[in-house]
Structure 1
């Protein structure tokens, strides 16, 4: 402790000596490796009174000179260093100068955020639009409704028409995005994104790529994209809306609808919509009446997809093998590793969906690679021999390559597999207790059946075999995101 006190006293003595010699407190702090605020407080404790040293005030003429240098293309950082001010201060001066030039009224220039304000009238003397797009390398005149529509510069501010003219000139001169960004005092990523969005490349006879950029077309497009409110795709495209409603009526999820549209309408860009837009039209009433239209089509108000309840806490004995005799020798740990990567088809997962009162049931078999689903109807009971006989009937048309393994939970309904084979060449394996994630595809399918077709508490004795067959066809005709929008068939 005494050594630390002596070092502190020596540090204060050095600081007092530096300040007494005429050095400023910030410079003395930098020399001693301290912060200026800490040094001020330490000097005050030892009785050395110092006033906070302020930078000299900037005169209006100096501000005007700084603004002129920035608008002339000099980097903002260099101008800020020349006047011993921060970059944000210089940005603020430029903003104030442009506001004064516009008349000092912040509302003098209205942003282009309405469809009417986005309408651009092409000047009669402009020849830009009469030339094919790749040849439009001249900016021509500014748009007829163009004004000084950017009163701020710096981070988070849109590019002005003058900025885009500078970008066009830089592209024509073969300058890089970083070089153009230096001229504008902007980050290079802003310029790179602007060129990627509105420019195009042409390969000349020598095989070299040349970037072309048209400032007027880029500025007009930017103003059009900034229109608010925008017309939503589902309101502007009745064909797309009808297809989305038809898919939702089949209880497809918005994510599946989005990827299926890309798969089914690969050559039609107008038939594209994100899953977020569908969710917004369904759940946010101010963003469309899709829910009301869907209720009219489905003739029910239960049209929204809702998640299940929270899972129960996993028991402490989860994963511990029990003494069930039919499991011995058929544990999932003895299953071939080729099943895990889903690269080879022929490996299935199975389970029961129990009906009302625990009497009736539905057998679900799902192939891990293609997600193809088979359903079996058990209207009265689900004993082991009944389940095995139903599965044998379900897989009778599958050959040895299409049916290699079946992974089941440890339910008693598969107890007879130890002495009765489902099919020659087909091995049955059992998951660990309370480990449904070892049959993820089958668990997801069971949940989808509950959400789309048979709610919890359904009595399968009242369900016809024809309806079960229809549900099986619906599941196999449903696009899957994991398959890139394709169906399991």
Structure 2
């Protein structure tokens, strides 16, 4: 008989060490080389899990019996050492050893103790460990329908998980974690949700990737006031009317951009239409127009990075009465709300595209949809609801209306 030669199967422990390397910050190539496999094998593991790392410790042998331990069990079992003694020698639970010795009963030999084969037991353990378990989104069709409906409305998995608990407080079967939603979308074999729904996520990616920090820049601006001089009430998010702003840039060829303004307390978003260019003059004109639409109590301050587009900040302040503060260089976290919102906006305004084709009406539609999305920090109330509550009842903390 001719023996078929195929690709040797890599043990689960090798994959576990590969993911441990990725978790420590190694690239796919570096992690694969560290465990002695090809880049293609590492890439295959990444694709199979949709870029989602398994839990720490999976495949490492810390919880599961290793092949070496199984070989010891086989030797001691052949010497008729008892299960409790084997457990003591290995530092394992007696029930673990008992289950292991019952792993592979010989067919038709139910009443005699079968021989224990370590290699066969290891192969059986690897197969069962990688077998797809029925996920909640596979078995609960009602839950799956609700999740898919909300994904189609561009809700994030975290927003879906939060609103499910709010909408079905007495029905735990209608609860699911945001990570379970991501796993169902990305990991092969998890099933449940339609893979094409990844297009409705903020990134639209078919493979999950870690978040990266945004770009940083720039040069100093004449007459700017540093963020260190900003009143403490802005940092405390105690009073509405303080905003964070920035530009999101389009393709290099188009030199297009859109301005973003985010209210710090509520997360309410406004978008600036910048036709043709994003020079200081164009940005100043767009900001004056947009800020002038706000009621007086919402014109307290704007915090921006040190971009040349804000060279006419004094003109904006003179026309609107709003104070403008500038972040330290290379410090995007000082505009955390704005950075997060700009990431959300990339779902609608992808990188590398010509942003000048979108008119003010479309930008207002995007802002309205973002302002109608529930937010975790507001107990799943929307930014529009929170801002409306703050304007009508300024003494109430954000999110009170959502819990009443």
Shorter chain as normaliser: what TM range? 0.5 to 0.7
- Post-superposition shift, 1:475? 1.2
Alignment deviations for residues 122-173 of structure 1 (CA, whole Å, 9 cap, x no partner): xxxxxxxxxxxxxxxxxxxxxxxxxxxxxxxxxxxxxxxxxxxxxxxxxxxx
Alignment deviations for residues 412-447 of structure 1 (CA, whole Å, 9 cap, x no partner): 222222244265442111112222121111111112
Tell me: CA distance 1:276–1:94, structure 2 relative to 1, closer, same or farther (3 Å): closer
Residue segments in structure 2 that go unaligned for 5+ positions in a row: 1-83, 106-130, 385-404
Q: Which has the higher contact order (CA 8 A, sep 6+)?
A: 2
Query: Map of 1:268-279 to 2, 5 A cutoff?
Result: 268-279=171-182
The answer on whether the counterparts of 2:185 and 2:198 sit within 8 Å (CA) in structure 1 is no
1:39 is matched with none
Question: Given the alignment, which residue of 369, 391, 397 partners 2:293?
Answer: 397
RMSD of the TM alignment (CA)? Answer: 4.0
Distance 2:256 2:211 in 1: 22
Tell me: CA distance 1:406–1:287, structure 2 relative to 1, closer, same or farther (3 Å): same
The answer on whether the counterparts of 2:159 and 2:375 sit within 8 Å (CA) in structure 1 is yes
- Post-superposition shift, 1:287? 0.9
1:325 is matched with 222
- Post-superposition shift, 1:371? 0.6
Tell me: CA distance 1:304–1:253, structure 2 relative to 1, closer, same or farther (3 Å): farther
Distance 1:93 1:366 in 2: 56
1:350 is matched with 245
Distance 1:364 1:93 in 2: 58
The TM-score, its normalising length taken from structure 1, stands at 0.48
Distance 1:289 1:336 in 2: 50
- Post-superposition shift, 1:88? 4.9
Q: Does 1:253 align with 2:156?
A: yes
SS for the counterpart of 2:236 is coil
Tell me: CA distance 1:245–1:423, structure 2 relative to 1, closer, same or farther (3 Å): farther
SS for the counterpart of 2:311 is helix
Q: Does 1:412 align with 2:308?
A: yes
Alignment deviations for residues 427-483 of structure 1 (CA, whole Å, 9 cap, x no partner): 111112222121111111112212x11111221222233321221122112222222
The answer on whether the counterparts of 2:138 and 2:192 sit within 8 Å (CA) in structure 1 is no
2:74 is matched with none
The structure with the largest alpha-carbon Rg is 1
Alignment deviations for residues 235-278 of structure 1 (CA, whole Å, 9 cap, x no partner): 23223212212332344332222112223434543321011211
Tell me: CA distance 1:247–1:379, structure 2 relative to 1, closer, same or farther (3 Å): farther
- Post-superposition shift, 1:288? 0.6
1:444 is matched with 340
Tell me: CA distance 1:281–1:421, structure 2 relative to 1, closer, same or farther (3 Å): same
SS for the counterpart of 2:296 is coil
Tell me: CA distance 1:331–1:426, structure 2 relative to 1, closer, same or farther (3 Å): same
2:230 is matched with 335
- Post-superposition shift, 1:410? 1.5
Question: Given the alignment, which residue of 375, 382, 401 partners 1:487?
Answer: 382
SS for the counterpart of 1:369 is coil
Distance 1:360 1:237 in 2: 46
Residue segments in structure 1 that go unaligned for 5+ positions in a row: 1-66, 68-84, 111-227
1:477 is matched with 372
Distance 2:244 2:371 in 1: 15
The TM-score, its normalising length taken from structure 2, stands at 0.57
Aligned residues: 275
Distance 1:272 1:105 in 2: 35
